[in-house]
Structure 1
Amino acid sequence: MSSDERLDLEFAYTAYQDSCRDLYSPHYYCRRPSGHDGVHAAGFGSGRLRWEHQPDHAPHMLS
Structure 2
Amino acid sequence: MSSDNRLDLEFAYTPYADSCRDLYSPHYYCRRPRGHDGVHAAGFGTNRLRWEHLPDHAPHMLS
TM-score tier by shorter-chain length is 0.7 to 0.9
Which residue in the other structure is 1:11 paired with? 11
CA contact (8 A) 1:23 1:57 kept: no
The question of 1:20 aligning with 2:20 is answered yes
Give 1:56's aligned amino acid: H
- Greater percentage in strand: 1
Q: 2:24 aligns to what SS in structure 1?
A: strand
Q: 1:5 aligns to what SS in structure 2?
A: helix
5+ long unaligned stretches in structure 2:
none
Equivalent pairs, count: 59
Q: How far apart in 1 are the matches of 2:58 and 2:31?
A: 16
Identity %: 81
| Backbone CA RMSD of aligned residues | 1.8
Structure 1 stretches of at least 4 aligned residues deviating more than 3 Å after TM superposition:
none
5+ long unaligned stretches in structure 1:
none
CA contact (8 A) 1:22 1:40 kept: yes
The question of 1:56 aligning with 2:57 is answered yes
